[in-house]
Amino acid sequence: MTSSRASGSSYAHWSNRSAKTTSAASKPKPTTVLAVPIRTDEQLTSLAKKRERNQISTRGLLVPTPDSAPSRHHAKNSDKEPRTSPRPSQAGLERKDCAVSPRVKQRKISGGSLHQSEQECPLPTMQTGQDAFKRISCVTLSDLLQGKYAGKVDNFVIIDCRFPYEFEGGHIQGAINVTTTSHLETLFFSEKRGQDTAIILHCEFSAQRAPKMALHLRNHDRNVNVEQYPKLDYPHIFIVQGGYKEFFSRFETHCEPKGYISMDDVRYRDELKQYLSQHKSEFKRCYSTGFLRT
């Protein structure tokens, strides 16, 4: 009797639980309703025009749709012929496309002084990418000393930027030893030598001292002519590729005296310390004065 009552109560509990589960499953789930903004006819028309203007082809040109109203860009240029070919890329430009602009030609005709890259270079040069100055080979310098460029380069100055003990041990014929920026400025700006003067600089390897001197000379030239930019008093500045060491090994006959003393020669250790200290302080002072960069 007791067992039958217990079984009946458990059955009733199970049936009630299953009924609740069935009723919960049968209830419909709430649906999420997205709010769609209501646009007026004017807003829809404006949106359609924006989409039309943003239709870009693979060539980067506007492609108007035939059934829609013409875009603002198309209406402005409706009387012009449409572009049928893509714009040439920068890498694909030919040499004839890189011609000097009419404004630059006008400045050449009027006698204005241009940047070194815009002027006709009187000597064959090479560009190393190390700085903005062009290099000439030792062969070109030898030919220049022999007068093979007479008529193209009648005035030139060779600046030897090595230390005095190096210069006295052997240098190129006619070279002037310049080790300070003040000497360089006095040499070329106390009395102007003319824009056709070619200035040729070198040191032992033309790696440090000569490029620094050339940069200082160009910066000082820019500052002197800052109100007449891009005028330059000395547009032709060159650096000898390989320096005095290479020139002496190939053209010893153009050197006087016929010798070569390296900067690190053990016989001149004390002089080297003195001149290196002077050189570093000299160019540290120059860079702190705010010279214009080229």
Residues 217, 289: Cα–Cα separation, whole Å: 14
- Which sequence positions are flagged as catalytic? 203
Place of tokens 């070198």: 202
